[in-house]
Amino acid sequence: MVFPATSCQFAISSRLGIFCPLAYGESTTSNPFCSKIVGMDSTGSPKRPNLLNHLLLPLNVIEDQFGRGVVLVGQVIIIWFKAIACMLTGRIDWREAFRQCYLIGNQSFIIVSLTALFVGFAMSLQISRELVAFGGDTAIGGVVSLALVREMGPITAGVMLAGRVGSAIAAELTTMMITEQIDALKVMRVDPIEFLVVPRYIAGLLMMPVLSIYAMTVGLVASIWISMIAANLPPATFLDSVKQTILDRDFGVHFTKAIINATLVIMFSCAVGLNTRGGAEDVGLATTRAIVWVMTSIFIFNYVVTSLTYAPR
C-alpha cells in the first residue's frame, strides 16, 4: 500500500505522541524543535490535518498493526519449530519443566476453580430456565455438559492460563531481555529456546489438559447443584442425561483444544518476550500485547477445531 508521504508522517508521529509540523504541509521554520509554534493555531490547539490525511489515518494504523502482527506470527512459528526440534532431540530440562508445572498449577488453580464455578452456575441457570419452560428437564444435564466439555471447559482454562501464566511469562522474558540476561545466555552458549521455552512448553502441555478437565468438572458440579436448586432436578437424572449425551469423541476434542491452547499461551508469550527490546515501560506493553494475541487466537482456534469436528455434514 502506498500512501502520500504526509499522511504517513502524520500517522507515525501522532502514534508516537510527537507533534510533527511537516505532516501539515506548512512548515515555516527549519528548527525541528519549533513544532509547538508552527503547528498550533491561535487558540493553542493543534490544527486539524487535511481531510485526506484524516481519512487515511485508520488505514495507516491498520497497515502498521497488520505488519507487526504478521511478524509476531512468524516469530511464534519459528520458536515453536525450534522448541519441537529441541524436544524431539531430547534436549529437555525435566527438573525445570516440573518446577514450571508446579508454578502453572499453583498460579492458576484457584482462579480456574472460581471462573469455572461461575460459568457453570450461569450456564445451568439459563439452560434450566429455558428447558423447564419446554418441559425438557431431563435434557438439562446433556445440554450443560455438552457446552462444558466441548466449549466452555477448554476456553475457560485457556483464557485463565493466558491471563495468569501467559502474562507472567511475557513479563519475565521481556525483563530478562531488557536486563540482558538473554544476551548473557547466548554468550554462555546456552540456547534460550532450550533453557526457557521448552520447560515452559512441556509444563503447559502437561498442565493444560489437567486444568481443562478440572474446569469442566467444577463447572459440571456447579451445574448439578444449580439445576437441583433452580429446577428441582435430582443429580441422578442430570448425570443420566450427561451419560447419554457425551461421546468419547468429545473428550478427544477437549484434549485437542487443551493442547492447542497450551501451545498458543506459551508460544505467543515467549515470542513476545524474546523479541521485545527497550526499557521498563515495554514490559507492560509486551504483557498486554501477549495477552491480547493469546486470547484472540484461543477463540479463533477453538472455532476452527469445533468447525472441523462438529460441523453438520
Partner 1 sequence: MAIPVHTDQKMIEIDQVEKSFGSHRVLKGISFHVRAGERLGLIGPSGCGKSTLLKLITHLLEPDRGTVTVNSPEVGLVFQGSALLNSLTVRENLALALRRRKLSKKDEESIIQEKLSFVGLSDFLNAYPTQLSGGQQKRTSFARAIVNDPKIILYDEPTTGLDPVMSTIIEDYMIKLGEESNAAAIIVTHQYSTWTRTAERVLLMHDGGAVWEGTPEEALKTDNPFMRQFAHGYKEGPMLEGLI
- Candidates 188, 248, 281, 311; binder of partner 1 (CB under 8 A) is 188
71 near partner 1, judged by CB under 8 A: no
DSSP 8-class letter at 239 = H
Among 107, 94, 109, 128, CA closest to 229: 128
Longest dimension (CA), the chain: 82
The reply to whether 183 sits near partner 1 by the rule CB under 8 A is yes
Residue whose CB is less far from partner 1, 155 or 196: 196
Minimum Å distance from CB 186 to partner 1?
6
CB-count burial class (<10 Å; 0-12, 13-18, 19+) for 195? middle
Q: Under the criterion CB under 8 A, does residue 181 sit at the interface with partner 1?
A: yes
Residues 147-176, one symbol each (x = binds partner 1 by CB under 8 A, - = not), give -----------------------------x
Question: Which listed range, 5-13, 154-162, 177-185, 266-274, lies at the site for partner 1 (CB under 8 A)?
Answer: 177-185
Nearer to partner 1, 9 or 223 (CB): 9
In the bound complex, what is the minimum distance in angstroms from residue 21's beta carbon to partner 1? 20
Query: Quick one: which segment of 52-60, 105-113, 187-195, 300-308 binds partner 1 (CB under 8 A)?
Result: 187-195
Question: Is 27 one of the binding residues for partner 1 (CB under 8 A)?
Answer: no
The closest of 203, 189, 162, 193 to 79, measured between CA atoms, is 193
* Contact residues for 3 (Cβ-Cβ < 8 A; gap 6+): 56, 59, 60
Distance between CA 221 and CA 267 in Å, rounded?
32
CA of 288: how far to CAs of 131, 170, 283, in Å?
A: 40, 9, 9
Provide the binding-site residues for partner 1, judged by CB under 8 A. 176, 179-181, 183-190
